[in-house]
Amino acid sequence: MYPHIRCSGFFWIVSFIFYFSLLCNYSNAKQPDSCLWIVTNRIKAPEKENDALFGSTLDPEGRLRYTKACHCPGGRWIYQIRPDFTALLSDMPGNRDIVINVHGDHKTFDEAAERGWQISDEYNVSVLLFTWPSELPDATGARNFKNSKSNVRTSAPGFYRFLKLVEKSKEQKSSPLHNNHITLFHHSLGNYFLQRLVEDPDIELDLDRHLIDNLVLNAAAVNAKNHIAWLEKLNFQKRLFVISNKKDFNLNGVRIFTSDGRQLGERLDLPLAGTAVYINFSEAVGFKIPTGLSHTYFIGEVPEEVPNIRKFYRSLFHGEGIDVSDPTMFRINIEGLGYDLLK
């Protein structure tokens, strides 16, 4: 009798978990605000790495893979592999603005998905995530950063092919990219992709001049010296923004512990690009504890504390222009480095 009761109890527990999993799968597949659409050049994760669908290794043949990811309670993810880019976007909402997110260093596949979902949840946009291998399982700090930079250089042609897919899709009236605003948001080391679009000899940069509404270089982990040489050659956007914070702990670390020098998202070097609007967050953000808040200030508690930050990113992510003459949000930087965002 008692063994039967224990078995029955176990059966109901397993059944409940299984039912909850199916419910999560179904409900999240139907809810666009809990999903994002992913393009990656990672290969499948070895079992030893983690439970993510894709791991920390580049596809040796440069292939792109397509996955819809839906966020479940408790941080679980439901991944649905799609055969191509058109199939990936087949159930993206047709009435939401779109943020193409390129993350920075030290992100697993799951972590990159989580960051993309946070942007979607915070700003009510559809997120199309480009995720690339940026974390070695057995390395941190400068060694991981060096490996990630190498991965960006290798990945740049694949990233350009992804942008060409975006361009082609936007031309099609049935595509969710056709009539919605599109923002291309690069964070931290993800900005190195933009530099490589210009400097890679294997890339002939030829994209529609109105492909992107807002191109955002956020906390860019690229050398600030002579940045206009490549920045002014980016010509597929309506508006271009460079966002920096002198007290960015992460980027100060890159300057101190690597040979990469001043970082564009930290301390600007003159001259500035005439094609870009530079926004300095040193007053609005500055140095924060935990220190990561001084680098990742577009989601979480920082925009909650500083309404101007949330308002600023909300406008960017919905493809709107920024009125830098608004005295409640901006003032001209006294060093001639664009505009300061006010608290």
Asked whether residue 94 carries a pLDDT value surpassing 90, the answer given is yes
Helix (H) or strand (E) holding 11: helix 2-30
Q: Are residues 227 and 300 in the same domain?
A: yes
Q: Are residues 82 and 186 in the same domain?
A: yes
**Backbone phi, psi, residue 50, to 5°:** -170, -170
Q: Are residues 15 and 108 in the same domain?
A: no
Q: Which domain holds residue 264?
A: 34-341
Instruction: At 214, list the tokens.
Output: 């807002």
Q: Are residues 105 and 153 in the same domain?
A: yes
**Residue 155 CA from chain centroid, whole number:** 15
Q: Are residues 163 and 263 in the same domain?
A: yes
Q: Are residues 45 and 24 in the same domain?
A: no
Residue pLDDT, tens place only, 221-267: 999 999 999 999 999 999 999 999 999 999 999 999 999 999 999 99
CB burial of residue 18 (10 Å; 0-12, 13-18, 19+): exposed
Q: Are residues 4 and 97 in the same domain?
A: no
Q: Are residues 64 and 213 in the same domain?
A: yes
Asked whether residue 22 carries a pLDDT value surpassing 80, the answer given is no
Mean pLDDT rounded to a whole number for the chain: 91
Long-range contacts of 22-25 (CB under 8 A, 24+ apart): 24/70, 24/72, 24/73, 24/76, 24/78, 25/70, 25/78
Rounded Cα–Cα distance for residues 84 and 19 (Å): 30
Give the per-residue pLDDT at 141: 81
DSSP-derived letter for residue 82 is E
- pTM of the predicted protein model: 0.91
Task: State the total domains in the chain.
Answer: 2
Q: Are residues 325 and 253 in the same domain?
A: yes
Q: Are residues 286 and 160 in the same domain?
A: yes
Q: Are residues 110 and 71 in the same domain?
A: yes
Rounded Cα–Cα distance for residues 148 and 162 (Å): 19
Q: Are residues 14 and 94 in the same domain?
A: no
